[in-house]
Structure 1
């Protein structure tokens, strides 16, 4: 939620951005009143700015009278370098991996202390998957997240380890145990989760490197880890292919 955007010195731009920033993973549809409250704006100001954002295409109004993020913002987001470069280069490898496993395939990067999902191919098996393209999830409870956290700077690791919310009964919430898992990720070059993000779903993930630098993670969601070695191998082959496509930067 925004700060005091109703202060006299707040610019029109900052107020409009506060309205857009009111949306997140848990708030995808908001009424005008909710938008005003979350943005810290008077209702008349929010009403005027929301009208302009709808006219431009940044927001859309549903038949029920709620507001959602508009298509034009999505189109702009696809122009971001992290999308156009990595996502396009990785796409053939994601489709190959999906064809070989029929599992849900993820391409993700670290955004601060969260995982940002750049691409997702939905699998055939009925495994619960909570991610979607553009969504953000915790680093400590996802396979791609553990990979990215293991290769993250020390200050990021400290920040994440300081607060490990429990999402299921199996989420790792002990910092010492998670540290040992991250060390194992570095040794084995892949990470796993077992019902840590959602019940009934396990995941395996590997790093994607551009030269020596880990720039992303590639993962799949499966019902169990019984084929862990085979799936990790398939992921690593795909990740190396993506890394070669990215070049050395």
Structure 2
């Protein structure tokens, strides 16, 4: 349910709700779309959208629909982690893509999900459920398992005690089985997922570590099921993850500390 109809919300909160109505798959919205997604009155949305457009945060297309404006996009690139990480990782993603011609993606932890911050995809690669800027579940995606495995105990317990959705018949939703996978991923730094999120896709993922030994992202290659043996892809993925980690300042011997301070 939209929260913007609640009384007492500030103008800035309502402006943010208009902006956050945009998301992957909904990058161009009409005024009616914004009204429906925010729950605000039509006149209020029209006024706020006009102000955001005048400021360059939104742009209005010839067909009347709104999109995220250039100034807002430029602001997003200043996020302290994602842009430097994307720039450093890009050559490694390109090399993996050139070698395998499959999906290659980079993701970070946000809340209880993995957010894709970069992806290179081949036209004949398996269709996936998300895209750049999209979110993946932690319990049944390759990058998600890596990020979950290196998270703190509180996040792990929250995820494992919550709803573990079964996306396909292969989805692992047993907390006990996931604990075993988490232990293995912590030990090796890598995870392999076979048809858990998308039935015809297999994912091989590894961690990316900064100079403090903290896991800041996960890198994965997603291939069509049974087209490539995961064991054949794994060394290249791990090597790429180590290469990116070195550029972030990590060196062998630095203890892996996980994604947040309560990791032990």
Name the structure 1 match of 2:210. 210
Uncovered stretches (5+) of structure 1, i.e. residues with no partner: none
Tell me the CA shift for residue 219 of structure 1: 0.3
Q: Is the 8 A contact 1:6 1:40 kept in 2?
A: no
Q: Once the 2 structures are TM-superposed, how far is the Cα of residue 135 of structure 1 from its aligned partner?
A: 1.4
Q: Which range is displaced more, 144-153 or 88-97?
A: 88-97
What secondary structure is seen at the aligned counterpart in 2 of 1:202? strand
1:183 alignment partner in structure 2 = 183
Give yes or no for contact 2:128–2:198 (8 Å, CA) kept in 1. Answer: yes
Q: Does the aligned pair in 2 maintain the 1:141–1:171 contact within 8 Å?
A: yes
Q: Is the 1:109–1:118 Cα contact (8 Å) retained in structure 2?
A: yes
Task: Give the structure-2-normalised TM-score.
Answer: 0.84
Q: Distance in 2 between matches of 1:63 and 1:160?
A: 44
8 Å contact from structure 2 (residues 24, 132) kept in 1: no
Partner SS, residue 216 of structure 2 = strand
Show the counterpart of 1:223: 224
Contact 1:6/1:41, CA 8 A, preserved across alignment: no
1:56: how far off?
2.7
- Give CA-to-partner distance per residue, 1:11-61, whole Å, 9 cap, x none: 321111111122334644443234224323222111111122223332334
Establish whether residue 110 from structure 1 lines up as the match of residue 109 from structure 2.
yes
1:104/1:26 Cα in 2 relative to 1: closer, same or farther (>3 Å)?
closer
**Structure 2: 5+ residue runs without aligned partners?**
252-264
Q: Is the 8 A contact 1:167 1:197 kept in 2?
A: yes
The CA distance in 2 between the partners of 1:204 and 1:21, in whole Å, is 31
User: C-alpha root-mean-square deviation of aligned residues, in Å?
Assistant: 2.3
User: How far apart in 1 are the matches of 2:206 and 2:123?
Assistant: 21
Is residue 4–residue 17 contact of structure 2 (8 Å, CA) maintained in 1? no
TM-score, structure 1 as length reference: 0.89
Q: Deviations over 1:130-172 (max 9, x none)?
A: 3322111211121011000000111111222211122223222
Summarize the Cα distance change of 1:177–1:64 in structure 2 as closer, same or farther, 3 Å threshold.
farther
Distance 1:65-1:197 versus aligned 2 partners, 3 A rule: farther
Correspondences of 1:57-96 after superposition (within 5 Å): 57-62=56-61, 64-96=63-95
Matched, 1:153 2:155: no
CA shift at 1:121, angstroms? 0.9
1:236 corresponds to 2:238: yes
Going from structure 1 to structure 2, the CA distance change for 1:247 and 1:14 (only over 3 Å counts) comes to: same
* Counterpart for residue 118 of structure 2: 119
Maintained 8 Å contact 1:25/1:136 = no
Distance 1:31 1:158 in 2: 41
Describe the shift of the 1:69–1:196 C-alpha distance in structure 2 as closer, same or farther (beyond 3 A): farther
